[in-house]
Structure 1
Amino acid sequence: MILLFDVGNTEIKLAFSDGVDILEKYRISTDKNLSSDAYFLQIKPFIDRYAFERVAIASVVPIVTKALKDLSVKYLKMTPLIVGPGIKTGVNVKTDYPKEVGADLICAVAGAAKYEQPVLVVDLGTATKYIYTEKNTIKGVIITPGVMISMRAMVSNTALLPEFDLEVPQNVLGTNTIACMQSGVTYGVAAQVDGLVKRVHDEVNKELLVIMTGGLSEIIKPLCETKVIKDENLVVRGLLEILLKN
């Protein structure tokens, strides 16, 4: 069995694979203050019933990367593959500063490699990333504040707007404060997706396959007018593909 860690700023996804398919997936919160021992206690109930042969980590949080690396060495008795410079990924990066491109973006493109046509990946994470890829090459990226960041910013920077749950209101036009705020961060993000997909399409002048991933894709995808394919395993599948190349 293979253990895969996809580490984001808000949550860590654990995925188990037999080397071909993603068999199970779990989520825990990202905490920069936790030690390798504390993280092990969190994931122990999930991993106890398996014997793992390989471990791979894709992370955008360096201090958590170290904790998970130490966890792997101490408890699983193996050194994990960590996506970064010097690792074979099969992904070309055509940007101004390739070393700045995060491991999550690299894995997303590796996961989309099976599609022959140009792809725009919409990753709804802590930040929302739009990754334009063609023939396994990253050709451009858009980064916007994520849904949860927008929610927190709206509440923390206003005196009268209350905390609210992320739900899709029945109507776009709200008639109470909570519904108005919920509409802004759900229909608003969907409208952003539709608008940016169109602008990318017009700029590259090519038909795009739009793939949405990330924990909030289930909420946002039905609200989009754009035809979107939802793939919750895109990043961890890309991480698996990178591991198999090494």
Structure 2
Amino acid sequence: MSNLLVIDVGNTDAVFGIFEGTELLHNFRIKSLKDENYVFFEYRFRQYFLENRLRYADITKVVLSSVVPPLTPIFKSLIKNIFGIEPIVVNAYIFPSIEVSIDNPNEIGSDLVANAVAAFTKYKRNCVVVDFGTALTFTVVSETGKVLGVSIAPGLRTAVKALFSNTAQLPDVPLELPESVLGKNTVHAIQAGILWGYEGLVKNMIQKIRIELGGDCIAIATGGLSSIISTLHGEFVEINRELTLEGLRIIGESQP
């Protein structure tokens, strides 16, 4: 059995996906704790393989995307030590069909490159990928595969935490869309302000992007929080939490 392992190291979690062909067989995550050492990540990684009776020998290729520089060498070492292979490290130039048309292509996050690859490969249309993660990102890709630009805002959880950055105790604020925008208590008020506020933010950004592209632009949602704001679902042709992993798979398949 020949399987592909993809790893997306983000600011909150490192997400792992194991593919056999185009099928995602396994999907798991480890917290991206920047103060932890190699042993912490190797132990949790090996534990998952053991608990799920996975064989290291079945992994024949690994694709690594990381937007956390302190963790990048740790994961490169983990891959080398466990599988005995060098990972394919994602950058702005790795996928020939995608041209990153920004001032400094090296500034773009490798996860956004993966999002662009997945969206362009599937649709080949003007599109914006809205990624609801630690940051809320809008990656715009043209019908010819050109990444035209990126917009970034704080993610939903990040926005909630920012309200209490100088407070000793963070109240428990479930990310649930309330029926009313008129908060009757602290939690409700935060839910109304953040979630309904972000609904307007996302709709407005998509509208402005479409105007700049002459009206033709589909929207795709991804990220762990992509389904939270239910009133946004009609804005998207697809809500796919695993879009980034799929992009990494496509990148892996394109490499020798």
Q: Is TM > 0.5 for Structure 1 vs Structure 2?
A: yes
Give the letter for the 1:149 counterpart. Answer: T
* CA positional deviation for 1:157: 4.4
Q: Report the counterpart of residue 129 of structure 1 in structure 2.
A: 137
The runs of at least 4 aligned residues of structure 1 exceeding 6 Å deviation read 158-161
Q: Distance in 2 between matches of 1:32 and 1:91?
A: 31
Q: Report the counterpart of residue 61 of structure 1 in structure 2.
A: 68
Query: CA, structure 1 residues 147+82, in 2 after alignment: closer, same or farther (shift >3 Å)?
Result: same
CA-based RMSD of the aligned residues comes to 2.0
* CA positional deviation for 1:230: 0.2
Give the letter for the 1:118 counterpart. Answer: N
Give the letter for the 1:117 counterpart. Answer: R
- Secondary structure of 2:150's partner? strand
Q: How does 1:1-246 map to 2 (within 5 A)?
A: 1-48=3-50, 49-50=54-55, 51-84=58-91, 87-113=94-120, 114-134=122-142, 135-157=144-166, 162-220=171-229, 222-224=230-232, 226-228=234-236, 229-246=238-255
* CA positional deviation for 1:162: 4.1
Query: CA, structure 1 residues 107+85, in 2 after alignment: closer, same or farther (shift >3 Å)?
Result: closer
Would you say the 8 A contact 2:102–2:147 is kept in 1? Answer: yes
- Secondary structure of 2:152's partner? strand
Query: CA, structure 1 residues 87+196, in 2 after alignment: closer, same or farther (shift >3 Å)?
Result: closer
Query: CA, structure 1 residues 90+148, in 2 after alignment: closer, same or farther (shift >3 Å)?
Result: same
TM-score scaled to structure 2, two decimals? 0.89
Task: Say how many residue pairs are matched.
Answer: 245
Give the letter for the 2:94 counterpart. Answer: I
- Secondary structure of 2:46's partner? helix
Give the letter for the 1:10 counterpart. Answer: T
- Secondary structure of 2:228's partner? helix
Q: Distance in 2 between matches of 1:54 and 1:106?
A: 19
Q: Distance in 2 between matches of 1:172 and 1:22?
A: 39
* CA positional deviation for 1:36: 2.5
Q: Distance in 1 between matches of 2:170 and 2:68?
A: 31
* CA positional deviation for 1:197: 0.7
* CA positional deviation for 1:85: 6.0
Deviations along 1:84-130, one digit per CA (max 9) or x if unpaired, are 26634531011111111110111000111210221110001111110
TM-score scaled to structure 1, two decimals? 0.92
Q: Distance in 2 between matches of 1:105 and 1:60?
A: 10
* CA positional deviation for 1:185: 1.6
Q: Distance in 2 between matches of 1:186 and 1:17?
A: 34
* CA positional deviation for 1:206: 2.7
- Secondary structure of 1:156's partner? coil
- Secondary structure of 1:155's partner? coil
Would you say the 8 A contact 1:88–1:242 is kept in 2? Answer: yes
Give the letter for the 1:133 counterpart. Answer: V
